[in-house]
Amino acid sequence: MPESCYLCGVTDRPLTADHVIPKVLFPQPRPHNLITERACEACNGGLSKDDALFAVYVSAALGRNEAGKWVWDNKATKSILAKSVPLANQFLNDASKKEILTEVGIVEADVLKIPQERLERVIFRMAKGLLRHIDPTFDYSYSNFKLDRLWPTMETAEMIKDNSAKMAYMERGNGVFRSLYTLTKDEPRHAVFFFFFYDAVGFIVSTIP
């Protein structure tokens, strides 16, 4: 069976290695076990701007770990935003003020936003790449993907605790990316991922046959 692009499924175009978890999210030196899957040049070539936008978004999060702080200080501000005035202006224009409960009490913070369609492109691509990596027999070409945010609440913590024993675990980097996931074996197949970035930003991704 010929290799296919994990995003669009084509088999008759040149394929390149695409980093499923965008490499821009990882501090230097990057880990040796980053996950790659085969993607056509058309799909792979249009991803870098979305990846950069996503890296700024998640590395700016309150409560981010040291990996997130490194990416914010060394990539988001010094490289991505510094080199793209339109992107920096977009973040400033879309930002809002919100009172946030932190370890030191309630503080007013700038809340960055990312367009939903671009967020979904990044997250759904990761889910498809991980499905191909974990189980190449999982056919998600006819599935819809659903995205929900995991907010830092006691309810979220309890849900994660309840599901952690029933789901498989994966991580890459020192706190850059963690995931709990489960894949059903019976048709129609279904998958659920919990994604965590810098121990601060979380999402649920599920496939709907």
Q: Tens digit of pLDDT per residue, the chain (209 long)?
A: 679 999 999 999 999 999 999 999 999 999 999 999 999 999 988 788 899 999 999 999 888 999 999 999 999 988 888 888 777 777 767 766 666 555 666 666 656 778 899 999 999 999 999 999 999 999 999 999 999 999 878 888 899 999 999 999 999 999 999 999 999 998 899 999 999 999 999 999 999 98
Show Cβ contacts of residue 1 under 8 Å, excluding neighbours closer than 6 positions: none
Instruction: Report the DSSP pairing between strands 105-111 and 177-183.
Output: unpaired
**Angle at alpha carbon of residue 195, lines to 209 and 200, rounded to 5°:** 150
Residue-by-residue DSSP string for 120-171: HHHHHHHHHHHHHHH-TT---TT-EEEEEEE-SSHHHHHHHHHHHTTSEEEE
* Displacement of CA 63 from its chain's centroid (Å): 17
- How far apart CA 180 and CA 157 sit, in angstroms, is 13
Q: What's the pLDDT at 88?
A: 73
Instruction: Collapse the DSSP code of 80 into the 3-class scheme (helix H, G, I; strand E, B; otherwise coil) and give the result.
Output: helix
Q: Which of 191, 175, 72, 49 has the alpha carbon at shortest distance from 122?
A: 49
Instruction: Collapse the DSSP code of 98 into the 3-class scheme (helix H, G, I; strand E, B; otherwise coil) and give the result.
Output: strand
93 Rama sector, left if φ>0, alpha if ψ -120 to 50, beta otherwise: alpha
198 touches 61 (CB < 8 A): yes
- How far apart CA 162 and CA 31 sit, in angstroms, is 30
Question: Residue 95, Cβ neighbours under 10 Å: how many?
Answer: 14
- How far apart CA 77 and CA 68 sit, in angstroms, is 12
Question: Residue 15, Cβ neighbours under 10 Å: how many?
Answer: 19
